[in-house]
């Protein structure tokens, strides 16, 4: 939530910004500013590892050593939280999913990016450039980090074979009932919408699960309220699920590959079911009032470099954004992660198109039809309080 | 006393002389810093927060728009969930307070009136030390204890019971009592110590048996201390959001406030904040009546 | 009133049970500090000192410890000054609104931390301040003041004014009287109040979370963030265990002081 600033401060900031000059016509710098020695990022847990978790996963220390930019990070719990953090004005940028990026671009909190200052941008897969969630009228507002699906995790003792649909978390008679974990964010309403779309012949006529009419939205909320009876955990942090799956408290859930990667000894496996899957595509964006733009640009270039992108996507469990990163992953750590790109379908456009990527629910339904109205993101968030708080 | 030559008094002396006979100025000087800090920083922040409750948010970008609006209050009154959450939280706060009083009183009594001085010192240290253990670590440890294959499961297995698990208010009740118990024990112990032995002897001399003395002499005298302890157990439960989320998989008042502020809906968080503030101000006024402030 | 033997036995047992209840989780934390695996199942799987080594060589542990100390010291210092001033006013004078001062100072402790947190955060943002250790210190000071205030006020109420009056009769200026009579009498109350205020600041996480910026990390914030990272959890157990051990020192000191001069007054 961006606070109302005292006008004087705005004037000062404006003067300083114009004094720094060198703004291109779209607001991005034309020359790479000097490194300022500090960088404050909003991230999903795991996007900026400095070796304290696992010594071999460290792409922050080399960056700090080379640029002198000390990296400080804050983890967001979900996209709305990420938006709020960036709007607080305390950060230079961060990695945001598609449902956050649109809001930041619309609200002027993120600045356009001059990709000429980011040499590694040239290597990025074409289907990730110039997307609606990371550009406006062809002007890029960020650089991709990676993308992935919300997958189904299940206990292999409870489910003898891999489920091929999402029944395990929706069916009241599921073997996992009472031991289910789903993501604690209003964006999960879209998963309910997809469930409705793929069952009962889509009786509510749902098309885009993020732009829902009143009737479709209420149906999704009803489904979630029903599901609440068999859900035992709404997870905020990956460790919530890691602890739960590891102790046997949880038998099924909607999860990220990151959690599964951290449960090597537990009888847990994960799969992308064939009926539907929601997903997320993350973009590094720079705050329009970033205090350290020089460091932020250097970070964005570094994040796109093969070493950093390979390591971060292996660690997090998502698809990398360039062929060079894929190649790096093949041989890194003596080939321990070979096949990384295939595992995450990095070049599989069919899989990419199958996923329903997170996007922001908008009152105008994000379409050209003026007569349609949909539920806004605020209504989604309020409904989530009702679903989880009752 | 020697007679000294006349000399001009030092600055402090002149200040002291000026202040002498002007008690009101003395009070003003003493209170200027503390009250200034509190009114400007603390109350001022609360005012800024509550002003936000009357503003609007842009539904898409999440910005606060300087337009007067009662949207936040309308949401709070029309959606049932906020009432449910409030009642659940207040109920738990009362339950935790009563439980802490029941569990804490015997301990406080033992320490205050029965333990030998050396035992007393050890026991007081024993009750104080957990206050230094991290609140977060205590909650997280209880989570692993109450979770599957955890300590509680292991403990209850021989009698065929299981842990209440991490989706239950019973677990939340346990953990909240655990967290705040020392805050109840310490004031009660101090309050019991303040009761002069002579009063109890007098009661016995007048024919009062132990039960009657307890009921008619001890309890009224220790009530302010219990009220003082209850301020903490009640308010800490009323505002907590970490234990409900981690232990009970449910939402209390604190969760609604926390969630809405971190998800960018400050007006709703601010509006809902008025509820616990109002409750606590009333609670404090009642507690003050009961003499709690002298027993903190 | 002499309690019956049955009552005494019951109270002894009750105290024992409650103490076991209080200490069991702490003992479990200590056990997990030596547990080899990062996942915490029961019973523990072994014994290792590796996490101690990792904790002491982890730069975040040491720097967050330093930040916590700095924040605690400054917050306590502010609390000592403001708390003493306010308690002097309330104990020695009568004025309009005197009863309300205690209520006002108590509010930061009695109102939910999350409300204080978002109020301060919203205000600091509106003023365009940078969130760093100073904003954390201000937040801590709000609830530390009342701790000192209560302790000193209780002491001042128990201290007879005769000594101060005698000092004034002998010609001492009010500053001198304060310095040489009042302050020494309050000294142990200040120490006890200061220690308790420091303890509160050291462990506080909710208000701190809202007033700290990206580069600021106190011990509680370090713990909060480490709990979210699967392989940093064991280090948290070590940190918690060490802190509890270290805390015996200030608690013991506070007890010795409080006990000694409590007897003196009686």
What is this model's ipTM?
Answer: 0.90
Question: Do residue A52 and residue C230 have CB atoms under 8 angstroms apart?
Answer: no
Instruction: Quote the CA–CA distance of A4 and A9 in Å, as a whole number.
Output: 10
CA distance C126 to A7: 10
Q: Considering only residues 61 to 90 of chain B, which have any Cβ-Cβ distance to chain C shorter than 8 Å?
A: none
In this structure, the answer to whether residues A142 and A170 fall within a common structural domain is no
For residues B107 and B213, the model is more confident at B107
**Is residue A162 pLDDT above 80, yes or no?**
yes
**Terminal CA-CA length for chain A:** 26
- What domain range is B234 assigned to? 80-295
In this complex, the residue of A109, A232, A382 whose CB is nearest that of residue B249 is A232
Of the pLDDT bands very low, low, confident and very high (cuts 50, 70, 90), residue B4 is low
Does residue B236 form part of some domain? Answer: yes
Beta-carbon separation of C21 and B178 below 8 A: yes
Q: What is the pLDDT of residue B181?
A: 96
Query: Is the separation of the CB atoms in A44 and A95 below 8 Å?
Result: yes
pLDDT tens string A25-72: 357 888 999 999 999 999 999 999 998 888 899 999 999 999 999 999
Distance (Å, rounded) from C-alpha C145 to C-alpha C68?
A: 18
Q: What is the 3-state secondary structure (H, E, C) of chain A?
A: CCCCCCHHHHHHHHHHHHHHCCECCCCCECCCCCCCCEEEEEECCCCCCECCCCCCCECCHHHHHHHCCEEEEEECCCHHHHHHHHHCCCCCEEEECHHHHHHHHHCCCEECCCHHHCHHHHHECHHHCCCCCCEECCEECCEEEEEEECEEEEECCCCCCCCCCCHHHHCCCCCCCCCEEEECCHHHHHHHHHHHHHCHHHCCCCCCCCCCCHHHHHHHHHHHHHHCCCEEEEECCHHHHHHHHHHCCCCEEEECHHHHHCCCCCCEEEECCCCCCEEEEEEEEEECCCCCHHHHHHHHHHHHCHHHHHHHHHHHCCECCEHHHHHHHHHHHHHCCCCHHHHCCCCCHHHHHHCEECCCCCCCCCCCCCCCCCCCHHHHHHHHHHHHHC
B7 within some domain: no
C18, containing H or E segment = helix C5-33
User: Is A50 found in the same domain as A32?
Assistant: yes
Whether A262 and A284 share a structural domain = no
> Quick one: A332 and A250 in the same domain?
no
In which band, very low, low, confident or very high, does the pLDDT at A242 lie, cut at 50, 70 and 90? very high
Are A137 and A160 in the same domain?
no
Whether residue A5 is contained in a domain is answered as: no
Q: Which of B178, A216, B277, A330 is nearest to C28 (CA)?
A: B178
Check CB contact under 8 Å for C41 and B149.
yes
Tell whether B248 lies on the interface with A, counting CB pairs under 8 A: no
Q: What are phi and psi of B289, to 5 degrees?
A: -55, -40
Query: Does A153 have pLDDT greater than 80?
Result: yes
Q: Which residue has the higher pLDDT, A172 or A367?
A: A172
Q: Are residues A268 and A218 both part of a single domain?
A: yes
Q: What is the pLDDT of residue B7?
A: 67
Same domain, B142 and B258: yes
> Residue A268 phi/psi, 5° resolution?
-125, 135
Measured between beta carbons, the chain A residues lying within 8 angstroms of B150 are 247
pLDDT band, residue A159 (cuts 50/70/90): very high
Nearest CA in chain B to C236: B137
Q: What are phi and psi of A372, to 5 degrees?
A: -90, 140
Q: Are residues A167 and A70 in the same domain?
A: no
Please give the pLDDT value at position B3. 60
Distances (CA, A) of C52 to B43, B138, C35, C62, C98: 43, 19, 11, 13, 51
- The values of phi and psi at residue A275, to 5°, are -80, -40
Cα–Cα distance, A344 to A340 (Å, whole number): 6
Q: Specify whether the CB–CB gap between C152 and C190 falls below 8 A.
A: yes
Q: Please check whether residues A58 and A123 belong to one and the same domain.
A: yes
Rounded to whole angstroms, the Cα distance separating A79 from A42 reads 10
Positions of chain C with pLDDT lower than 50, given as ranges: 260-266
In this structure, is the dihedral angle defined by the CA atoms of residues A136, A142, A143 and A144, taken in order, positive or negative? negative
* List of long-range contacts for C248-256, beta carbons under 8 Å, 24+ apart: C248/B125, C248/B129, C250/B132, C250/C195, C250/C198, C250/C199, C251/B125, C251/B128, C251/B129, C251/B132, C252/B125, C253/C191, C253/C195, C254/B128, C254/C191, C254/C192, C254/C195, C254/C196, C255/B121, C255/B124, C255/B125, C255/B128
Cα–Cα dist C52/C48, whole Å: 9
**Which chain C residue lies closest to A262 (C-alpha atoms)?**
C230
- The reported pLDDT for the residue numbered B156 is 92
The answer on A219 and A101 residing in a single domain is no
> A6 at the B interface (CB within 8 A)?
no
CB C82 within 8 A of CB C190: no
The reply to whether residue A237 touches residue C227, judged by beta carbons under 8 angstroms, is yes
SS (H, E, C) chain B: CCCCCCCCCCHHHHHHHHHCCCHHHHHHHHHHHHHHHHHHHHHHHHHHHHHHCCEEECCCCCCEEEEECCHHHHHHHHCHHHHHHHHHHHHHHHHHHHHHHHHHHHHHHHHHHHCCHHHHHHHHHHHHHHHHCCHHHHHHHHHHHHCCCCHHHHHHHHHCCCCCCCCCHHHHHHHHHHHHHHHHHHHHHHHHHCCCHHHHHHHHHCCCCHHHHHHHHHHHHHHHHHHHHHHHHHHHHHHCCHHHHHHHCCCCHHHHHHHHHHCCCHHHHHHHHHHHHHHHHHHHHHHHHCCHHHHC
Contact C228 A45 (CB under 8 A): yes
- CB burial of residue A193 (10 Å; 0-12, 13-18, 19+): buried
**Structure confidence at residue A52 (pLDDT):** 84
Q: Are C14 and B106 in contact (CB under 8 A)?
A: yes
pTM: 0.91
Cβ contacts (< 8 Å) between C232 and chain B: which residues?
Answer: none
Are A298 and A312 spatial neighbours (Cβ–Cβ below 8 Å)? no
The pLDDT, as a whole number, for residue A93 is: 96
**Residue B12 maps to a domain:** no
> Cβ of C107 under 8 Å from any chain B Cβ?
yes
Subunits with 3+ C-beta pairs closer than 8 A to C = A, B
The predicted structure's pLDDT at residue B200: 83
Residue A8, domain member (yes or no) = no
Rg (CA), chain C: 23
The count of domains in chain B is 2
B139 and B221 housed in the same domain = yes
**What is the C-alpha separation between C164 and C155, in angstroms, rounded?**
14
List, in order, residues 6 or more apart from C85 with CB less than 8 Å away. B30, B31, B33, B34
C110 and B133 in contact by Cβ < 8 A? no
d(CA A5, CA B48): 12
Closest chain B residue by Cα to residue A248? B148
If one counts every other C-beta atom within 10 angstroms of the C-beta of residue B151, the result is 22
At residue C259, the pLDDT reads 56
Tokens of B161: 């019971």
Domain count, chain A: 2
Specify if C182 maps to a domain: yes
Our CA angle for B41, B43, B46, nearest 5°, is: 105
Contact A45 C229 (CB under 8 A): yes
Do B169 and B227 belong together in one domain? yes
Is the CB of C214 less than 8 angstroms away from the CB of A90?
yes
HSE of A70, CA atoms in CB hemisphere, 13 A: 6
Q: Please give the pLDDT value at position A11.
A: 39
Taking the CA atoms of residue A368, residue A370, residue A374 and residue A379 in that order, the dihedral angle to the nearest 10 degrees is: 110
DSSP conformation class of C129: P
- Tell whether C255 is within 8 A of chain B (Cβ): yes
Whether residues B87 and B135 fall in one domain: yes
Q: Is residue A99 part of a domain?
A: yes
Residue A67 belongs to some domain of the structure: yes
CATH code at position A44: 3.40.190.10
Write phi, then psi, for B20 (nearest 5 degrees). Answer: -60, 130
Over 90: is that where the pLDDT of B172 sits?
yes
* Contacting subunits of A (3+ beta carbon pairs below 8 A): B, C
| CB nearest A3 (choices: B64, B85, B245) | B64
Residue in B with minimal Cα distance to C122 = B49
Whether B30 has a pLDDT exceeding 50, the answer reads: yes
CB atoms within 10 A of CB B32: 12
Q: Which residue shows structure tokens 């570094």?
A: A302
- For residue range B228-247, list pLDDT tens digits in order: 999 999 999 999 999 999 99
Domain CATH number, residue C79: 1.10.3720.10
Is B140's pLDDT higher than 60?
yes
User: Across chain A, what does the average pLDDT equal?
Assistant: 90
Domain count, chain C: 1
Q: At residue A19, does pLDDT exceed 70?
A: no
Instruction: Give the closest residue to A41 by CA, choosing from A85, A103, A77.
Output: A85
Place A3 in a pLDDT band, splitting at 50, 70 and 90.
Answer: low
Answer yes or no: do A80 and B266 touch at CB < 8 A. no
A6 within domain boundaries? no
Among B44, B48, B62, B242, most A C-beta atoms within 10 A, so best to mutate, is B62
Binary contact (B276, C115; C-beta < 8 A):
yes
Q: Which two tokens stand for residue A336?
A: 């321990």
Q: Is the pLDDT confidence value at B130 over 90?
A: no
Q: Read off the pLDDT of residues A73-87 as tens digits, 9 standing for 90 and up.
A: 999 989 999 999 999
Using DSSP, state whether C37 is helix, strand or coil: coil
* Contacts across the A-B interface (CB distance below 8 Å): 113
The domain containing residue C102 runs over which residues? 47-264
CATH of the domain at B215: 1.10.3720.10
Same domain for A250 and A382: yes
In a mutagenesis test of the A interface, which of C35, C36, C37, C39 is the best target, namely the one with the most A β-carbons within 10 Å? C39
In a domain, C260, yes or no: yes
Task: Please give the residue that has the higher pLDDT: either A277 or C229.
Answer: A277
Residue holding tokens 């009863």? C99
Dihedral, CA of residue A278, residue A280, residue A281 and residue A286, to nearest 10: 150
In the predicted structure, residue A16 carries a pLDDT above the cut 50: no
Per residue in A97-115, pLDDT tens? 999 999 999 889 999 999 9
Q: Is residue C174 part of a domain?
A: yes
Same domain, B43 and B166: no
Q: Which domain range does residue A181 map to?
A: 151-276+362-388
CA C145, CA B42: separation in Å to the nearest integer? 12
Cα–Cα dist C83/C146, whole Å: 6
% residues pLDDT > 90 (chain B): 62
pLDDT value at residue C265 = 33
Of C11, C199, C227, which has the smallest distance from its Cβ to B110's Cβ? Answer: C11
Domain stops at, among B50, B71, B92: B71
At B204, the pLDDT band (50, 70, 90 cuts) reads confident
Q: Is B8 a domain residue? A: no
C33, part of any domain = no
The whole-angstrom separation of Cα A295 and Cα A30 is 15
- What are the CA-CA distances from residue A217 to residues A54, A204, A379 (Å)? 42, 10, 10
Would you state the pLDDT for residue A124?
95
């Amino acid at each position: 939530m961006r606070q109302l600033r005292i006008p004087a401060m705005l004037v000062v900031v404006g003067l300083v910004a114009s004094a720094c000059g060198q703004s291109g016509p779209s607001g991005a710098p034309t020359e790479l500013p000097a490194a300022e020695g500090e960088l404050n990022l909003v991230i999903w847990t795991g996007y900026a590892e400095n070796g304290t978790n696992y010594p071999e996963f460290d792409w922050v220390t080399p960056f700090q050593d080379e640029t002198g930019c000390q990296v400080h990070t804050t983890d967001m719990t979900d996209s709305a939280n990420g938006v709020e953090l960036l709007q607080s004005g305390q950060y230079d940028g961060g990695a945001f999913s598609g449902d956050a990026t649109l809001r930041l671009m619309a609200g002027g909190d993120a600045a356009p990016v001059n990709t000429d200052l980011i040499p590694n941008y040239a290597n990025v897969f074409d289907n990730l450039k110039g997307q609606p969630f990371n550009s406006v009228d062809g002007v890029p507002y960020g650089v991709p980090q990676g993308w992935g699906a919300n997958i189904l995790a299940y206990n292999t003792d409870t489910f003898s074979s891999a489920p091929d649909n999402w029944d395990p978390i929706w069916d009241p008679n599921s073997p996992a009932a009472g031991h289910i974990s789903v993501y604690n964010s209003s964006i999960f309403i879209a998963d309910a919408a997809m469930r409705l779309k793929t069952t009962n012949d889509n009786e509510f006529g749902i098309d885009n699960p993020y732009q829902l009419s009143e009737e479709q939205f209420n149906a999704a909320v009803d489904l979630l309220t029903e599901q609440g009876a068999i859900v035992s955990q709404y997870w905020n942090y990956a460790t919530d699920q890691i602890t739960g799956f590891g102790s046997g408290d949880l038998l099924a859930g909607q999860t990220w590959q990151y959690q599964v990667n951290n449960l090597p000894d537990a009888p847990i496996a994960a799969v992308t079911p064939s009926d539907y899957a929601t997903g997320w595509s993350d973009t590094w964006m720079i705050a329009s009032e970033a205090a350290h733009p020089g460091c932020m640009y250097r970070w964005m270039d570094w994040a796109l470099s093969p070493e950093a992108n390979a390591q971060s996507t292996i660690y997090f469990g998502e698809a990398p954004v360039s062929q060079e990163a894929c190649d790096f992953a093949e041989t890194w750590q003596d080939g321990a992660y070979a096949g990384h790109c295939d595992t995450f379908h990095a070049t599989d456009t069919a899989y990419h198109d199958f996923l329903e990527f997170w996007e922001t629910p908008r009152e105008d339904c994000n379409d050209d039809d003026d007569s349609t109205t949909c539920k806004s993101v605020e209504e989604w968030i309020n409904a989530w309080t009702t679903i989880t708080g009752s | 006393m020697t007679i000294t030559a006349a000399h001009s008094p030092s600055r402090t002396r002149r200040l002291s002389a000026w202040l002498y006979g002007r008690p009101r100025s003395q009070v003003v000087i003493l209170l200027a810093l503390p009250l200034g800090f509190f009114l400007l920083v603390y109350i001022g922040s609360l005012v800024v927060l509550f002003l936000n409750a009357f503003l609007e948010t842009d539904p898409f970008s999440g910005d606060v728009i300087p337009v007067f609006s009662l949207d936040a209050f309308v949401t709070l009154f029309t959606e049932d969930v906020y009432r449910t959450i409030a009642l659940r939280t207040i109920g738990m706060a009362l339950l935790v307070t009563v439980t802490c009083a029941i569990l804490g009183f015997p301990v406080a009594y033992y320490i205050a009136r029965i333990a030998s001085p050396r035992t007393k010192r050890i026991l007081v240290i024993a009750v104080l030390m957990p206050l230094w253990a991290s609140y977060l670590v205590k909650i997280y440890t209880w989570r692993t204890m109450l979770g599957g294959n955890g300590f509680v499961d292991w403990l209850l297995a021989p009698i065929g019971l299981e842990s209440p698990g991490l989706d239950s208010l019973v677990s939340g009740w346990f953990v909240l009592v655990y967290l705040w118990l020392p805050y109840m024990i310490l004031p009660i112990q101090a309050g019991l110590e303040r009761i002069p032995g002579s009063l109890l002897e007098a009661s016995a001399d007048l024919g009062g048996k132990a039960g009657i003395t307890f009921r008619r002499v001890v309890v009224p005298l220790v009530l302010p201390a219990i009220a003082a302890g209850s301020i903490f157990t009640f308010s800490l439960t009323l505002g907590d959001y970490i234990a409900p989320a981690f232990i009970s998989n449910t939402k209390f008042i604190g969760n609604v406030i926390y969630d809405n502020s971190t998800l960018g809906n400050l007006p709703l968080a601010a509006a809902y904040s008025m509820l616990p503030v109002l409750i606590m101000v009333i609670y404090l006024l009642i507690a003050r009546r009961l003499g709690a402030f002298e027993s903190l | 009133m002499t309690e019956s033997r049955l009552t005494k036995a019951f109270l002894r047992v009750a105290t024992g049970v409650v103490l076991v209840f209080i200490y069991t989780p702490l003992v479990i934390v200590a056990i997990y500090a030596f547990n080899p695996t990062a996942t915490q199942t029961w019973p523990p799987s072994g014994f290792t000192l590796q996490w101690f080594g990792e904790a002491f060589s982890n730069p975040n542990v040491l720097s967050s410890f330093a930040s916590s100390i700095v924040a605690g010291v400054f917050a306590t210092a502010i609390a000592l000054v403001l708390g003493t001033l306010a308690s002097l006013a309330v104990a020695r004078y009568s004025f309009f609104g005197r009863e309300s001062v205690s209520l006002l100072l108590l509010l930061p402790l009695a109102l939910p931390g999350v409300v204080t947190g978002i109020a301060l955060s919203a205000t600091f943002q509106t003023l365009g301040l940078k969130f760093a250790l100073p904003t954390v210190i201000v937040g801590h000071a709000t609830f530390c003041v009342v701790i000192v205030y209560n302790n000193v006020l209780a002491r001042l109420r128990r201290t007879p004014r005769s000594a101060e009056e005698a000092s004034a009769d002998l010609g001492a200026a009010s500053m001198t009287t304060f310095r040489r009579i009042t302050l020494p009498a309050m000294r142990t109350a200040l120490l006890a109040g200061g220690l308790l205020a420091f303890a509160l600041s050291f462990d506080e996480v909710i208000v701190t979370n809202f007033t700290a910026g990206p580069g600021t990390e106190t011990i509680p914030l370090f713990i909060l963030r480490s709990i979210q990272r699967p392989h940093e959890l064991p280090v948290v157990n070590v940190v918690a265990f060490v802190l509890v051990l270290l805390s015996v020192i200030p608690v013991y000191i506070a007890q010795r002081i409080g006990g000694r001069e409590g007897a003196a007054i009686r």
